[in-house]
Structure 1
Amino acid sequence: MNNRTWLITGVSSGFGYEMTKQLLEKDDKVIGTVRNKDKVADLIKKYPETFCCEILDVTDVPAIRNLVDDSFEKLGSIDVIISNAGYGLFGAAEELSDAEVDHIIATNLTGSIQLIRSALPHMRTQGGGRIIQISSYGGQVAFPGNSLYHATKFGIEGFCESVAQEVAAYNIGITLVEPGGARTEFRYGSAQVADLMPEYEGNPAHSFLNMLDASKSLAPGDPVRMATRIIESVELEPAPIRMVLGSQALASTISTLKARVADYESQTDQAASTDFPVGE
């Protein structure tokens, strides 16, 4: 297996940190973005030759473009781009502020879109590459109290599925990774909660409060094993368009999609009733 060069956003914790750590341990090169270098001081010190840590706020589109352009120019080529930066926002839709709505869309959706768009011309020029978008099984399955997170993940899934078809001819593969719950800072640290309204007490919209409480339940996913599977996916040809991580996530996704297909199939006559009659 040849050593690769990776660009990964959001490497200060969770999957980003664990993937970076595993890649550096096998002598790959990583350009990792953070908002605070203190969180990766150990990696900066241990891997001065192979780890390039860059400050990036993924809501800053010009900064994304500059980082990607400078990285390709400096290294000549980058084999894998991993769009990982993102966070969870919990609360009923009307509990969320306009600023909270705008920020999660700018981070999870627009930031990911612009990272991928910035990388595509470089990957076409170099003759190919792999793009991995960290999504969620929440890009297929929706729960109450998580509407804007789902909006960003459903959105990025549609974007990537379309772009994958556009760039396959240039030997660029795109994979959507759909992890289930994992024991990372995403759930037990960085998750943001809206200013909750008493009107929603006892409502399913607040069921997430138990999920975020580690004393009441722990997520089943092991971030170390999940990071390993993500890294290994680069060896698969052709690139899988989706990869679900976690048995609970897969079961929930399959159940949801089966119900969705059954609902669509029940509408066969109604859908056909809106067509022009044959011959007209």
Structure 2
Amino acid sequence: MTNRTWLITGVSSGFGRLLAEQLLERGDRVAGTVRDPAAVEDLKIRYGDRLWTAVLDMTDAPAIQGVVDRAFADLGSIDVVISNAGYGLFGAAEELTGEQVDHQIATNLVGPIHLVRAALPHLRARGGGRILQVSSYGGQATSPGGSLYNASKWGVEGFMEATAKDVAPFGIGVTIVEPGSARTGFRTGSSRLATPLAAYDDSPAKMVRGIRDPSLPSKGDPAKMAAAMIDSVDRHPAPLRIALGSDSYAYVRQALGERLADIEAQRDLAFSTDLPAGG
């Protein structure tokens, strides 16, 4: 096993914490970003200088650039960048405030864009590397009450997929990770809910109002999912996407099948709008 150095955003909890724990335990180095350094003090005590930390708000673009530059400078080189920090925002579109909309997009979409832009010059200089974007099955399949969360994940997946094509010649691989439900505290801890409007009491969007209920089942084992993300870095070429969890597989497969059926039904219409041959 080759020891590597990883930069991971959001290592205080959830997948970020699990990734950091597994990597440090096997002897790798981790540069992790946090909102509160106290959340990883136990890891600092246990693993010492193999855990480098920095406070970072993913809505602060200049700070992202500064943290990435310092991490590469302090650690000499970083092999893998994992864009993990993010949260869920749920409710019908008009139930959300403008501030909630802006913060969701800034954190889940614009922040990762700046992270990758900051990391790419360093990865090109070292002759390659990997970027992992932690997305969700919500990056390809939509759910009622998830309009802004889906928008952020569909957006970041589009950015990462196109960037993967841009940077492949430099030996940089990009993988989009699409976990299903897992006991990471995503629903019950970091997720935020809109203030309900009575107009949506009979809408499918109402289903998300109970999303923070701890009794709701989660199919995925978060430790296994974190291990699968780590293992993906040893696959060559880098897989563009990996779905984790049977629910993720089912939702994504159904969504893709429906979209394919929709576009195939439009073939004649699409071709009918072309200019005449030779025109």
TM-score by length of 2: 0.98
Q: Superposition pairs for residues 125-274 of structure 1, below 5 Å? A: 125-215=125-215, 217-274=216-273
Distance 1:269 1:202 in 2: 38
Q: Secondary structure at the match of 1:243?
A: strand
CA shift digits 1:81-122 (9 cap, x unpaired):
000000000100000000000001000000000000100011
Aligned length: 279
Cα deviation per residue 1:163-199 (whole Å; 9 max; x = unaligned)? 1011001000000000011111111111100111111
Secondary structure class of the residue paired with 1:86: coil
Give the share of equivalent positions with the same residue, in percent.
55
Mapped to 2, the partners of 1:176 and 1:94 lie a distance apart of 29
- Structure 2 spans left out of the alignment, 5+ residues: none
Partner of 2:124: 124
1:104 aligns with 2:104: yes
C-alpha distance in structure 2 between counterparts of 1:243 and 1:126, whole Å? 26
Q: Distance in 2 between matches of 1:213 and 1:147?
A: 20
Q: How far off is 1:211 after superposition?
A: 3.6
- The answer to whether the Cα contact below 8 Å between 2:137 and 2:180 also exists between their aligned partners in 1 is yes
Tell me if the contact between 2:91 and 2:209 (Cα under 8 Å) persists in the aligned partners.
no
Aligned equivalents of 2:16 and 2:112: distance in 1? 14
**Matched residue SS, 1:207:** helix
What does the per-residue CA deviation read over 1:123-161, in whole Å, with 9 as the maximum and x for residues that have no partner?
000000000000111000001101001001000111011
| 8 Å Cα contact 2:137-2:179 kept in structure 1 | yes
Task: State the match for 2:65 in structure 1.
Answer: 65
1:42 and 2:42 matched:
yes
Task: Determine helix, strand or coil for the equivalent of 1:124.
Answer: helix
- Using the alignment, how far apart are the partners of 2:76 and 2:241 within structure 1? 29
Aligned partner of residue 6 in structure 1, secondary structure: strand
Q: Secondary structure at the match of 2:252?
A: helix
Q: Name the amino acid aligned to 2:186.
A: F
User: How far apart in 2 are the matches of 1:93 and 1:111?
Assistant: 21
Q: What is the rounded CA distance, in whole Å, between the counterparts of 2:203 and 2:212 in structure 1?
A: 16
Q: Where do 4+ consecutive residues of structure 1 move more than 4 Å?
A: none
Distance apart, 1:201 and its partner CA: 1.2
Identify which range, 40-49 or 79-88, moves more after superposition.
40-49
